């Protein structure tokens, strides 16, 4: 079956989050590395579509969605493209003085004292890239917005979780947009990683990943796999390449132990876990064999 663009990128996002690294500091900075990076290149064309959803705390309720679009204006004489961000579930984003999403340098403070805005659509840049029906001339685009040549810059966000607590976070982006006759080229848009502060109302610094948690440390090479992933009720273990396991431990996304059991069979019941991202640590004789990320849906 041919998947739609949106469905393919939804699956990409789930896979990237599941394979990404996650870290924790004493202030509980929760870090996710999108691996591989999310990339977009080529001309801005086609009808508008969601390109990538962002779910900071992996609870199934995304805080925003990166939008790439094309539209006509001024009596359909002009065609334009834009990169925007749609805010979801009461999230807010930092804006500059003219209403674009503000690019932040690494080390910038993200907290209450800022220009927060929760309007649904927010803009990175806009490109008026050709004239077609009024005079027939092709013209070079006019690019507007601060994100045309940003490299490893950050956008600041805040969101409210299911418990009603406010959290601050960042997303790292690189953008390179070039004018071209008849089109605006998205040479590279790269979304690499993001993080949020799990402690409510606490300021976060752009680029702060926190120190590494030892969840991903493991012993000898192994090839255990789990499926399905994401899963709603049961995880099935298979593979192993002659590596035995006698116990499993499940950690949540901030590194807290959720469950520890003797492994008596090749299935693990996760029915009672809340939705979100977890790490399954497999052990043999109290030695770590392998750690596998999974998402409970």
Spell out the domains of the chain, with CATH numbers in brackets.
5-205 (no CATH), 214-296 (2.60.40.3080)
Burial class (CB in 10 A: 0-12, 13-18, 19+), 242: exposed
Give yes or no for a contact between 59 and 49, defined as CB atoms under 8 angstroms apart: no
- Residues comprising the chain, all counted: 297
Two tokens, residue 258: 């959720």
Q: Taking the CB of residue 5, how many other CB atoms lie within 10 A of it?
A: 11
C-alpha 42, offset from chain centre: 21
Radius of gyration of the chain (CA): 22
Q: Cβ–Cβ contacts within 10 Å for residue 105, how many?
A: 11
- Give the span between the Cα atoms of 255 and 235, in whole angstroms: 20
Instruction: Report the C-alpha gap between 71 and 131 in whole angstroms.
Output: 12
Query: Dihedral angle at the C-alpha atoms of 263, 266, 271, 277, nearest 10 degrees?
Result: 90
User: Residues 157, 91: contact at Cβ < 8 Å?
Assistant: yes
pLDDT in tens, the chain (297 residues): 333 334 433 433 443 443 344 444 335 788 888 878 887 766 655 555 557 788 898 888 899 888 766 666 666 666 666 677 888 888 999 998 888 899 999 999 999 988 899 988 888 876 665 555 566 665 656 777 888 888 999 999 999 988 899 999 999 999 887 776 656 666 778 888 999 998 889 999 999 987 544 444 444 455 788 988 888 899 999 887 667 899 999 987 667 788 999 998 889 999 999 887 788 989 888 888 888 888 888
Which residues lie closer than 8 Å to 228 by C-beta, 6 or more apart? 236
Which residues of the chain form beta strands (DSSP E)? 29-43, 49-54, 64-73, 78-87, 92-94, 109-110, 116-117, 121-131, 142-144, 153-160, 166-180, 183-197, 204-205, 224-227, 234-239, 247-252, 257-262, 267-269, 276-284, 287-296
Q: For CA atoms 10, 12, 15, 16, give the dihedral sign.
A: negative
């Amino acid at each position: 079956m041919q998947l739609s663009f949106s469905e393919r990128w939804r699956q990409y996002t789930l896979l990237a989050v599941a394979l990404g690294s996650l870290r924790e500091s004493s202030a509980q900075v929760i870090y996710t590395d999108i691996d591989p990076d999310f990339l977009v290149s080529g001309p801005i064309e086609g009808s508008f579509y969601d390109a990538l959803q962002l779910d900071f705390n992996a609870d199934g309720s995304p805080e925003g969605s990166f939008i790439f679009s094309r539209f006509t204006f001024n009596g359909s004489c002009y065609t334009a493209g834009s990169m925007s961000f749609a805010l979801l579930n009461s999230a807010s984003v930092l804006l500059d003085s003219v209403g674009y999403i503000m690019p932040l340098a690494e080390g910038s403070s993200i907290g209450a004292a800022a220009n927060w805005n929760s309007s649904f659509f927010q803009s990175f840049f806009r490109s008026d890239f050709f004239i077609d029906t009024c005079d027939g001339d092709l013209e070079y685009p006019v690019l507007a917005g601060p994100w045309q040549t940003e490299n490893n810059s950050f956008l600041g966000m805040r969101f409210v979780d299911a418990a009603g607590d406010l959290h601050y976070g960042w997303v790292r982006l690189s953008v390179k947009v070039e004018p071209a006759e008849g089109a605006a080229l998205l040479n590279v848009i790269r979304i690499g990683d993001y993080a949020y502060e799990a402690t409510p109302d606490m300021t976060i610094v752009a680029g702060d990943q926190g120190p590494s948690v030892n969840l991903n440390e493991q012993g000898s090479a192994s090839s255990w796999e789990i499926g399905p992933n994401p899963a709603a009720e049961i995880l099935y273990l298979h593979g192993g390449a002659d590596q035995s396991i006698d116990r499993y431990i499940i950690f949540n996304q901030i590194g807290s132990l959720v469950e520890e059991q003797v492994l008596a069979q090749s299935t693990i019941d996760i029915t009672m876990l809340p939705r979100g991202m977890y790490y399954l640590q497999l052990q043999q004789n109290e030695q770590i064999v392998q750690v596998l990320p999974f998402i409970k849906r």
